Amino acid sequence: MSNARDFAARVPVDGALSNRNIIVNGAMVISQRGTSFTSVGNGDYTLDRFRVYSSGGGVFNVDQASDGPDDFTKSLKVTVATNDASIGSSDYYMLNSRLEGYDTAKFNFGTSAAKTVTLSFYVKSSLTGTFGGSFTNSSEANAYIFSYTINAANTWERKTVTITGQTSGTWATDNTNSIRIYWDLGCGSGNVSGSTGWGSGAYGLSSTVQLVGTSSATWQITGVQLEVGDTATPFEHRSYGDELARCQRYYQKDFSIYNEDGNNGFTAMFPFEMRTSPTATRTGNGVTSQENVPSQVSTSSRRIYIYNASLPTGGTFELDAEL
Amino acid sequence: MDEMNITSAQYIAHEGNNSSICATIDGQELHVPLDPANRHYAEIMRQVEAGTLTIQEAE
């Protein structure tokens, strides 16, 4: 390839030159909840912004693996801990990421000005063949079914899916969920479609590889990017701090608050605004071991408030404003 | 698909007004804001509307 042609292939022809990638934590570098997740429950978040669904008898382990293609140091690794040899028609096994309406509003989905977008990712698996996935709105009434082929076992390959803009349906443009991306790891016949393209109510394509059916099978992903246009540009790496801040709009761990004296409640501000008022889970004391557990805890997107008539009070909290 | 195992839920009041819900979800005690955009609150209200969950009044 000539230098000019090489340059042209790397320049976006539509959309922004920077902040192209809508996916948060696409390089899998942030994992606030831990780096190893054993027997992941249905709907549990693992690495930041990525959750696993599993409804049948199969069980996954998930790790933040220190393994990736060139330019990547981390990936999300799914390992089949318990296989499901007889997947029921209504069963589902998937990896999922949910996107916020504020970030995808520029796609103009649900209007006549809907733009074509391109999803790209690096994938590696112990299994080869055609895999499926889907790209849906929050009601899942609009679902773009896609497939990709893994050609060689245990080898990183980059895959690209171009999605024509959807002019119908309801796609959020606010702080609620607009788009869901699913990678099918073994959905039953009732949850897959017979063809690719726009449809509804499906998470993958029929007759594709069902990872969960094979004991100890592995599947890894990193470099996930979603951008405007019909071309997958090179992955847009962001700084670690930038990516962490983006993740903490949805989840923060170890947020400590402590009230030693005074008769009223106590408020602490978050470093920046979360997506919405987070659920607060007290995971331990804040500063001292003598703290009374707060009798009241409430949040807004900017702050947490605690109260207990018996001081001192406080705690360390997980804050969950996930989609 | 987002169904959670909610075993208890009770309003928490501040100065006479409900300010949050203390709920046990998947075995953990969570402080859930009264915010429709919060996924736990949305699921609590879905289960209330389905008749499978009752939120206890504040003490």
Helical spans, DSSP H, in A54-183:
101-104
| Total domains, chain A | 2
Residues A283 and A228 in one domain: no
What is the predicted pLDDT for the residue at A85?
95
Q: Does A175 touch chain B (CB under 8 A)?
A: yes
Residues A130 and A223 in one domain: yes
Of A265, A276, A307, which has the smallest distance from its Cβ to B35's Cβ?
Answer: A276
Residues A203 and A68 in one domain: yes
Which run of H or of E encompasses A226?
Answer: strand A218-228
Domain C-terminal end among A227, A243, A259: A243
A275: three-class secondary structure by DSSP: coil
Residues A12 and A98 in one domain: yes
Residues A312 and A225 in one domain: no
Residue A52 in contact with residue A98, Cβ under 8 Å?
no
pTM of the model: 0.94
* Partner residues linked to B6 by β-bridges: B25
Residues A255 and A237 in one domain: no
pLDDT band for A2, please (50, 70, 90 cuts).
low
Q: Does B58 touch chain A (CB under 8 A)?
A: no
Residues A48 and A22 in one domain: yes
Q: Which residues of A touch B14 (CB under 8 A)?
A: 265, 296, 298, 305, 307
Structure tokens belonging to residue A280: 């607060």
Residues A213 and A284 in one domain: no
The enclosing domain of A147 has a CATH number of: 2.60.120.260
pLDDT of A242-291, one tens digit each? Answer: 999 999 999 999 999 999 887 778 999 999 899 999 999 999 998 888 89
Q: What angle do CA A228, A151, A122 make, to 5 degrees?
A: 35
Residues A238 and A277 in one domain: no
Residues A122 and A271 in one domain: no
Residue A196 in contact with residue A41, Cβ under 8 Å?
no
In order along its 59 residues, chain B shows pLDDT tens digits of 667 899 999 999 988 899 999 999 999 999 999 999 999 999 999 999 999 999 999 98
Closest residue of chain B to A94, computed from CA coordinates: B1
Q: Is A298 exposed, middle or buried (0-12, 13-18, 19+ CB in 10 A)?
A: buried
What is the predicted pLDDT for the residue at A261?
81
Residues A54 and A195 in one domain: yes
Q: Percent of chain A at pLDDT above 70?
A: 95
Mean pLDDT in residue range A165-172: 97
Residue A248 in contact with residue A31, Cβ under 8 Å?
no
Please state, in angstroms and as integers, the Cα–Cα distance from residue A84 to each residue in A54, A94, A293, B3, following that order: 10, 13, 43, 22
Domain C-terminal end among A217, A243, A269: A243
HSE (CB half, 13 Å, CA atoms) of A73?
A: 4
Range of the domain at A109: 2-243
Domain C-terminal end among A243, A267, A289: A243
Residues A310 and A215 in one domain: no
